[in-house]
Chains A and B, each alone.
Chain A
Amino acid sequence: EDQVTQSPEALRLQEGESSSLNCSYTVSGLRGLFWYRQDPGKGPEFLFTLYSAGEEKEKERLKATLTKKESFLHITAPKPEDSATYLCAVQVSGNTPLVFGKGTRLSVIA
């Protein structure tokens, strides 16, 4: 069974304190790995797509990386506005729905 596991479940950082979120996956075949951000009461917002091991994507304070078994979302010098739940998802095959992890709730304290 295809599985996506995110850790930690929750993370509390001081403003400016860099850290990383982990997404490990066990799938029959990986067509793509996706990161989303979700704010309370809103739909997930697309951040990144990664297709192959070694690939990296950056956007402002966020950087996503991919290996053959896991992905990391690195947050550099976070600000309070980065507080949200970050979701990782994989596409296994064809036009099937993404398989989501349970997310990491990030809180950045000023």
Chain B
Amino acid sequence: GAVVSQHPSWVICKSGTSVKIECRSLDFQATTMFWYRQFPKQSLMLMATSNEGSKATYEQGVEKDKFLINHASLTLSTLTVTSAHPEDSSFYICSARPPGRGEQFFGPGTRLTVL
């Protein structure tokens, strides 16, 4: 149980385009999901907390107009990187928390490369 999927697993795009990443909890409903980015050999960096039916809470320094998060249902959250630039290239990982539990279960991650 507690499986989280992400799509796509990798994406290459041109500078200036927008990219959408989907995160789904497959066997549980998640009122709260989290988005992270990770640079090579570095730890997870929390970008935002996504709550179903309400606005996401962004961490300090994360541009909310650039990283749009939508948590439209109890099993789906999306991250859209708008007007992507090479510095946005990174490994993006989502996680979801089952109701009443403290654990966060992570997706497999999405490798974004912006040319």
Contacts and interface: CB of A to CB of B under 8 A. Distances in A.
Contacts of B107: 43
Nearest to A31: B102
Interface string B72-115: 00000000000000000001010101000011111111010000
A103 B43 contact: yes
Contact of B108 (A36, A42, A97): A42
Q: Which of A34, A45, A87, A95 has the most CB of B within 10 A?
A: A95
Nearest to B4: A43
Nearest to A49: B103
Nearest to A34: B103
A32 B103 CA distance: 8
Contacts of A42: 108-109
Interface string B42-72: 1110100100000000000000000000000
Nearest to A103: B43
A104 B42 CA distance: 11
A102 B43 contact: yes
Interface string A72-94: 00000000000000010101000
Interface residues of B, number: 24
A8 to B, nearest CB: 15
Q: Which of A34, A42, A43, A100 has the most CB of B within 10 A?
A: A43
Contacts of B31: 95
B44 A46 contact: no
Given A43-B108, A44-B44, A87-B43, 14 more contacts: A34-B104, A41-B109, A42-B108, A43-B4, A43-B95, A43-B107, A46-B2, A46-B104, A49-B102, A96-B49, A97-B34, A97-B104, A98-B102, A103-B43
Interface of A: 31-32, 34, 36, 41-46, 49, 87, 89, 91, 95-98, 100-103
Interface of B: 2, 4, 6, 31-32, 34, 42-44, 46, 49, 91, 93, 95, 97, 102-109, 111
